Amino acid sequence: QVIKCKAAVMWEANKPFSIEEVEVAPPKAHEVRIKIVATGICRSDDHAITGALLTPFPVILGHEAAGVVESVGQGVTSVKPGDKVIPLFIPQCGECSSCTSHKGNLCSKTDLGSGAGFMPDGTTRFTCKGKAVHHFVGTSTFTEYTVVHESAVAKIDSAAPLEKVCLIGCGFSTGYGAAVQTAKVEPGSTCAVFGLGGVGLSVVMGCKAAGASRIIAVDINSDKFAKAKELGATDCVNPKDFKDPIHKVLIEMTGHGVDYSFEVIGRIETMTEALACCQHNYGVSVIVGVPPAAQKINFDPMLLFTGRTWKGSVFGGWKSKDSVPKLVADYMKKKFVLEPLITHTLPFTKINEGFDLLRTGK
């Protein structure tokens, strides 16, 4: 039956969240209804609020979470009620060209990019005050209960602490995977990481795990440097401290540019700086931050002509349904830490305060 519960509804762009009672319809065939236990706040949610990431309103945002299966629709075999799970904003249908290729992970069933705001069948499971409310990238986790497609949920270790492993639903996996999966950072290499939010710090952890000898962390907020160093950064650079453009500073620091650079902010200016700071012939630069809608990059093609590689990475290149349970298992084996990425824990009703903390770099 229909569940009535609390959700943070975004009625229109650039407004605060409104905590409302919503109705959550039961799961249809091949769908799963989840009780959300913990959800992270990600800059991509904020991009949807400001219009930098296109999404229809009203909407229930949120895509980085963990919870427990409440009920399943007909034909669901991979999870059952009571299972601990992580919703997946990049699903894994197992049938499309990206899912069947070992080269990619961006399942064609994802709503990222199209931003339709519906379940795969073109309808929504949320209603509020008699109005249909849109889904967000197939997950919508800023609610006590959500409905996702079976291809967009992964069953995880029943002993996993949900308030920690929720970060594997986006931030940690996205950053860590950009280093170890997409860039394939090699032992002894030099790396530069632009942006030291939760995802950027996860890139730092990935570079360190891959054996990078030098990891240069770049941010205009020097308050973030202590944590970056704790997680493996060898140098920290604030572009505001220099007259020269930051790519020149990094080339000077390294002699020839870095082997790998990562843009984890989502600004076109830093994307070109990150490309320019990597070694002119075999350097690899990875775009990890969501690029803003309707903005174009102008850059000198000579930057690529000499051999650099410019890549993008969504969800760290992981095939979601296969990889998320393994990443949770690795966390349980203490192969990496998540605790330093958690700066604040707030009750759900204080979600607007959480976004204020995000926007002020705290």
Domain assignment of residue 177, yes or no: no
- The amino acid at residue 94 is G
- Token duo for residue 298: 């102008």
Question: Looking at the structure, do residues 275 and 327 belong to the same domain, yes or no?
Answer: no
Nearest residue to 6 (alpha-carbon basis) of 18, 20, 17 = 20
Query: Residue 42 catalytic?
Result: yes
Q: Determine the average pLDDT of the residues in 81-105.
A: 97
CB 35 within 8 A of CB 68: yes
Question: Looking at the structure, do residues 136 and 36 belong to the same domain, yes or no?
Answer: yes
Question: For residue 113, is pLDDT > 80?
Answer: no
Question: Looking at the structure, do residues 210 and 284 belong to the same domain, yes or no?
Answer: yes
Nearest residue to 261 (alpha-carbon basis) of 279, 249, 234 = 279
Query: Which one of 93, 99, 107, 170 is the catalytic residue?
Result: 170
Query: Which one of 5, 18, 42, 207 is the catalytic residue?
Result: 42
Domain stop point among 274, 295, 312: 312
Q: Would you state the pLDDT for residue 325?
A: 98
Domain assignment of residue 84, yes or no: yes
Question: For residue 51, is pLDDT > 90?
Answer: no
Question: Looking at the structure, do residues 162 and 192 belong to the same domain, yes or no?
Answer: no
Q: Are strands 214-218 and 190-194 parallel, antiparallel or unpaired?
A: parallel
pLDDT, averaged across the chain: 96
Exposure string for 68-89, b = 16+ CB within 10 A, e = fewer: bbbbbbeebeebeeebbbbbbb
Q: What is the DSSP string of 90-138?
A: S---SSSHHHHSSS----TT--TTT---S-TTS--SEEETTEEEB-STT
The span from the CA of 173 to the CA of 50, in Å, is: 24
Question: Looking at the structure, do residues 281 and 204 belong to the same domain, yes or no?
Answer: yes
Cβ count near 104 (within 10 Å): 14
- Token duo for residue 142: 């800023």
Domain assignment of residue 126, yes or no: yes
Query: Which one of 44, 98, 285, 313 is the catalytic residue?
Result: 44
Query: Residue 47 catalytic?
Result: yes
Query: Which one of 5, 18, 47, 277 is the catalytic residue?
Result: 47
Domain assignment of residue 178, yes or no: no
Domain assignment of residue 194, yes or no: yes
Question: Looking at the structure, do residues 45 and 74 belong to the same domain, yes or no?
Answer: yes
Question: Looking at the structure, do residues 326 and 263 belong to the same domain, yes or no?
Answer: no
The span from the CA of 16 to the CA of 261, in Å, is: 35
Residue 170: burial class (beta carbons within 10 Å; 0-12, 13-18, 19+): buried
What percentage of residues in the chain have a pLDDT greater than 90? 94
Number of domains in the chain: 2
What one-character DSSP code corresponds to residue 140?
Answer: -
Question: Looking at the structure, do residues 167 and 227 belong to the same domain, yes or no?
Answer: no
- Token duo for residue 98: 């990206």
Backbone angles phi, psi at 299, to 5 degrees: -150, 160
Query: Residue 30 catalytic?
Result: no
pLDDT in tens, 54-80: 899 999 999 999 999 999 999 999 999
Question: For residue 248, is pLDDT > 80?
Answer: yes
Q: Would you state the pLDDT for residue 52?
A: 86
The span from the CA of 205 to the CA of 228, in Å, is: 9
Domain assignment of residue 264, yes or no: yes
Question: Looking at the structure, do residues 243 and 128 belong to the same domain, yes or no?
Answer: no
CB 56 within 8 A of CB 135: no
The span from the CA of 55 to the CA of 307, in Å, is: 36
Q: Would you state the pLDDT for residue 305?
A: 97
Question: Looking at the structure, do residues 153 and 27 belong to the same domain, yes or no?
Answer: yes
Domain assignment of residue 332, yes or no: yes
End-to-end Cα spacing for the chain: 40
Question: For residue 22, is pLDDT > 90?
Answer: yes
CATH at residue 216 = 3.40.50.720
Question: Confidence class of residue 290 from pLDDT cuts 50, 70 and 90?
Answer: confident
Question: Looking at the structure, do residues 145 and 17 belong to the same domain, yes or no?
Answer: yes
Query: Residue 63 catalytic?
Result: yes
Domain assignment of residue 43, yes or no: yes
What's the domain range around 330?
3-171+317-360
pLDDT in tens, 313-355: 999 999 999 999 999 999 999 999 999 999 999 999 999 999 9
What percentage of residues in the chain have a pLDDT greater than 70? 100
CATH at residue 346 = 3.90.180.10
Q: Determine the average pLDDT of the residues in 140-165.
A: 98
Question: For residue 46, is pLDDT > 90?
Answer: yes
Q: Determine the average pLDDT of the residues in 294-317.
A: 94
Residue 65 neighbours by CB under 8 Å, 6+ apart: 36, 37, 38, 39, 40, 86, 87, 139, 141, 166, 169
Q: Determine the average pLDDT of the residues in 174-185.
A: 98
Question: Confidence class of residue 115 from pLDDT cuts 50, 70 and 90?
Answer: confident
Query: Residue 247 catalytic?
Result: no
Strand order in the sheet with 284-287: 235-237, 214-218, 190-194, 260-263, 284-287, 309-312
Question: Looking at the structure, do residues 46 and 101 belong to the same domain, yes or no?
Answer: yes
